Amino acid sequence: MAKKFGATSTTDDVLSGVDLHGKRTLITGVSAGLGVETARSLAAHGASVVGAARDQEKAQQAIAEARRDAAVTGGSIDLVSLDLANLESVRACADTLLEEGKPLDIIIANAGVMASPFGKTADGFETQFGTNHLGHFVLVNRLASLIPSGGRVIVLASSGHRYANVDLADPGFERTPYEPFVAYGRAKTANVLFAVAFDERHRAHGVRAAAVHPGAIHTELARHMDEGQMTALLETINSQLASEGKGPFQFKTVPQGAATSVWAAVVASAEDIGGRYCENCHASDVVADDVVVTPVSEGVRGYALDAANAAALWRKSEEMVGESF
């Protein structure tokens, strides 16, 4: 019988007894937080990890200890340059990996930004949508030919997808007042929809995709939130939890936050996670749009798994980046 994991499971719990020698993985955002832990845990079990990061010096320092530990078990961590907010960089990264021609058994689209002030990427896209979704959309699609049957694509999403559905008529907030968490919600919904659409297109070849919510963890992702905003958010969450008769909210540790990514990537059944939204090491149920839930409650909104919505986003994304996949 398969082991059961949950919200407090760590990467080491999930990967206990798992041998990843011979497996090659690409992980974006390996300069801090979840990306570093995801790379560490997979390499510690023998995987050859390619870590992508914008700041190469920072990434080198972040993975130094994990790289030394991986060498003991026969795993490895190498780096490649990637700026998801610049499609020239994204395409160059993909070209580098395509030229190498080595298979990628797992791609984990981990990097991202959250609740940033209004801004634009190098290509003129709203920062969060452009970085979190469009950068990964181009990267993963360009690398799809390297994913063998049995491979998986894991896209980090968030319960923040419940802040907003995608707005394909105004993805750049040209006619909509900008609100950081609405923009974050749109981008995270796009992450889920991308996994849904990618899974639909590739499962016939044995390649599956899933979206993952890691949970709430203290990482650099929250760097755009000041202490007052964080305090107010936690007060709201705890008030809602108290009204439900539940105890106060507790953050996950980084190894607990990365656990669902590695669970979905190498441990879970492909049929259980393909085209799904996962959290706390299981695939989540749909929560109706009119059901009020706390930001830390489980569940995925139906619009984030809707096949027609996913197909429409795919077409819009192709239009925006000027490529067809």
Point out the residues that are catalytic.
184
CB 32 within 8 Å of CB 219: yes
Catalogue the long-range contacts made by 224-231 (C-beta closer than 8 Å, 24 or more residues apart).
224/113, 224/114, 224/115, 224/116, 224/117, 224/180, 225/114, 225/115
CA-nearest of 139, 93, 136 to 112 is: 136
H or E segment and range at residue 211: strand 208-213
Q: Do 49 and 41 contact (CB within 8 A), yes or no?
A: no
Give me Rg for the CA atoms of the chain.
18
DSSP secondary structure string, 300-319? EEGGGT-HHHHHHHHHHHHH
Do 202 and 144 touch, CB atoms closer than 8 A?
A: yes
Q: What is the DSSP string of 11-23?
A: HHHHTTT---TT-
Strands 282-283 and 277-279 turn out to be antiparallel
Whole-number Å distance between alpha carbons of 304 and 281: 19
**For residues 126, 132, 135 and 136, what is the CA-based torsion angle, rounded to 10 degrees?**
-160
Number of neighbours of residue 245 by Cβ within 10 angstroms:
6
* Interstrand relation of 106-109 and 76-81 (parallel, antiparallel or unpaired): unpaired
